[in-house]
Amino acid sequence: MNPPNIILIIADDMGYGDFGIFNKQISCTPALDALVDDGIVLTQHYSAAPVCTPARAALMTGRYAHRTGSIDTLEARGLDRLRLDETTMADVLGGAGYVTGLVGKWHNGALDRRFHPRSRGFREFVGFQGGWNPYYRYRLDRNGSIEYGSRDRYLTDVFSDAAIDFIERHQREPFFLQLAYNAPHFPLEAPDAIARRYVEMGFSLGVSLLYAMIEVMDAGIGRISEKLDALGIADNTILIFTSDNGPALGDWNGFSQRRFNYELNGGKGNTYEGGIRVPLIIRWPHGLDGGARIGEMAHFTDWFPTLLSMAGVDMPADLAIDGVDVTPLLRGEDGGIYPQRFWQWNRYVPFGACNAAMRDGDWKLLRPVIKEAMEVSPQDTAHDNAIKYVPELYGDIVREPAPAQTVPSPPPSLLFNIADDPFERNDLAAQYPQKVAAMEAALERWFIDVTGI
């Protein structure tokens, strides 16, 4: 059998509750619902971080993001940059004969051509390098040529068209396409007619825009699936859908984004389940039996070794990764599962006692957010907004020292049993102090290992 094609679709800030099949058809997602029915759903699948930059770095390298340099979303400070000595999935697959392409959002290096996707293993790139982009008046990079959008074209449709074009041109050779939609990340913009339908159903304008953004993305995924069928390559194409982190549930420019999140606690930005537990659906008719739901734990770092294994590509011998090959899990076999996973994220310099978590089997330890470690200076906020529109004005990243943070003592850790309490309602820390102490020690060892701090 020929090597399988790989299409890795990543939504931006989307949760389980955004699928029609999981929310009693509140939202309209027929293509994703069909993928759920036909493929394998991992119900305990985790991003590597509650925000996009570190999550994407871990997905691309198979390594915890703290090791890679991509620790925060602040591209004007270069904190989004994937270190130049890191090896990406695209590097390895490209070296094994795959045609590699990235359509959509990168956010692992917004400035300096050395950090451009075409310098990180992707032969082709249609998208943007930073953290977000307007959906109509967008700035788009097509293999180095810059174009600007107007009200005539919606960016999500542009990305779907670019993905279909890539598939058509490379249908006779193995390809790896990462399709990184920026929907439903802000700014909240969608075709009026679709959004109006949700308003008429009684949803707020913010949620109506979000569901409309997801509906347009779903339609694009449906067109891609139809194209694979028409070209006769669907059966030997590994099609994966996931999200970089959980849904944003706060307010944006006066629009509320609060919506159904499958009753999970928390959302984007924190390490409760709602921030890091994300959908993962995989379909590969030639290699995997579909129609299954798997409850064992999997993690973003696992997809690097797993996809290489499925493609029959050897892992570079000198590459140290944190993920494991979960192909046996997907095939209903034993093996491949690592019981401990770790998360941590704050602004600027990592602070291990803030917004951190670990899973050890069914147990989850959580170190809550410390507000002072999550603040961004007004100057850095302004820089990061400006860079989305005129990155050419920035010859280099901001080199001044990061603003000083005065961080108080951290609050006590929380302890949950996810098997008994998947929605993290019952803190068991007081009942199991020895378990808390052991997991805190393991989390601290991990943090020292990945950061050297």
Q: How many CB atoms lie within 10 A of CB 157?
A: 16
Peptide bond into 174 cis (omega under 30): no
Looking only at the bridges linking them, the beta strands covering 5-11 and 237-243 are parallel
CB 245 within 8 A of CB 280: no
CB 50 within 8 A of CB 345: yes
CB 108 within 8 A of CB 81: yes
Q: Cα separation of 335 and 67, whole Å?
A: 26
Q: Is 363 helix (H, G, I), strand (E, B) or coil?
A: strand
Is 52 considered catalytic here?
Answer: yes
Task: Name the DSSP class of 164.
Answer: H
Can you list the alpha helix ranges (DSSP code H) found in 170-272? 192-200, 205-231
Signed CA dihedral, 363, 368, 369, 373: sign only: negative
Point out the catalytic residue in the list 66, 107, 116, 299. Answer: 107
Is 354 considered catalytic here?
Answer: no
Q: Cα separation of 191 and 195, whole Å?
A: 6
Q: Cα separation of 363 and 370, whole Å?
A: 22
CB 145 within 8 A of CB 139: no
Question: For residue 336, what are its two tokens?
Answer: 């491949």
Report the chain's C-alpha Rg in angstroms.
21
Q: Cα separation of 399 and 79, whole Å?
A: 11
CB 16 within 8 A of CB 261: yes
Edge to edge, the sheet with strand 356-360 lists 340-344, 356-360, 363-367, 414-417
Report the candidate in 53, 60, 111, 115 with the shortest Cα–Cα distance to residue 80. Answer: 53
Q: Kindly list the distances between the CA atom of residue 362 and the CA atoms of 402, 434, 440, in Å, as whole numbers in the listed order.
A: 38, 16, 16
Point out the catalytic residue in the list 52, 116, 170, 354. Answer: 52
- Residues marked active site are found at 52, 107
